[in-house]
């Protein structure tokens, strides 16, 4: 009788590589549906007579530039890894993380700008337009925190030299999510500026 033995580690790695990207895309589609629902609700609520047109805080322009540059630096990181230039890959990944943290700070500063201009999240002086503004940007920031965690894992693994031109799945997954967050922010920025 012949016995077939499977290398369990190799099998698990193969399964992970085949399932990770489709599972990520399912998650991204659900996030798209979630934000589509929220922005649709905003459009419906906009017909309310108490709706106030808000000016997008100037710091949101800075946020947009930061997240666009961070997507570029993260893409460079993947290219450097594929070309076995691991030192540059680590540097650009760290730079991406710093840009992501900077984006976070600019969001908080933009909320301060809103607050000081009389736009409140809730309460007697609040308006539905302000509440939607805070909710949409806060939920994006919540998803960005998940992106920063994945980015921190990639930074750590890059420093420990765990990636190579043949082992880049973690970078690819994190990068896809980061590009998605960038596209989502650009959508929200233009939506809030021109539609809300």
The tens digit of pLDDT for each residue in 18-27 reads: 888 999 999 9
> Tens of pLDDT along 128-182?
888 999 999 999 999 999 999 999 999 999 999 999 999 999 999 999 999 999 9
Instruction: Please give the average per-residue pLDDT across 4-16, as a whole number.
Output: 64
Q: CA 178, 109, 57 angle in degrees (round to 5)?
A: 90
Phi and psi at residue 167, in whole multiples of 5°? -120, 80
Residue 5 clears pLDDT 50, i.e. is over it: no
Domains of the chain (ranges; CATH) run 57-195 (1.20.120.80)
Residue 122 clears pLDDT 50, i.e. is over it: yes
Whole-model pTM above 0.85?
A: yes
Q: Which residue has the higher pLDDT, 89 or 125?
A: 89
Three-class SS state of 165: coil
> Which residue in 126, 151, 111, 161 sits closest to 50, CA to CA?
126
**pLDDT at residue 123 in the model:** 75
């Amino acid at each position: 009788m012949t016995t077939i033995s499977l290398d369990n580690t190799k099998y698990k790695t193969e399964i992970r590589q085949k399932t990770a990207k489709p599972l990520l895309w399912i998650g991204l589609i659900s996030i798209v549906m979630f934000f589509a629902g929220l922005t649709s609700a905003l459009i419906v609520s906009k017909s309310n007579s108490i709706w106030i047109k808000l000016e997008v805080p100037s710091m949101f322009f800075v946020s947009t530039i930061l997240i666009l540059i961070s997507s570029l630096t993260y893409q460079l990181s993947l290219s450097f890894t594929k070309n076995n230039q691991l030192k540059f890959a680590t540097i650009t990944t760290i730079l991406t993380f710093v840009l992501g943290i900077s984006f976070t700070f600019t969001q908080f500063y933009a909320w301060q700008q809103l607050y000081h201009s009389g736009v409140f999240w809730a309460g007697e002086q609040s308006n539905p337009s302000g509440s939607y503004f805070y909710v949409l940007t806060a939920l994006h920031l919540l998803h960005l925190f998940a992106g920063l965690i994945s980015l921190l894992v990639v930074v750590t693994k890059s420093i420990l030299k765990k990636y190579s031109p043949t082992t880049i799945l973690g970078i690819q997954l994190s990068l896809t999510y980061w590009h998605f967050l960038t596209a989502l922010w650009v959508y929200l920025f233009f939506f809030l500026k021109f539609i809300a």
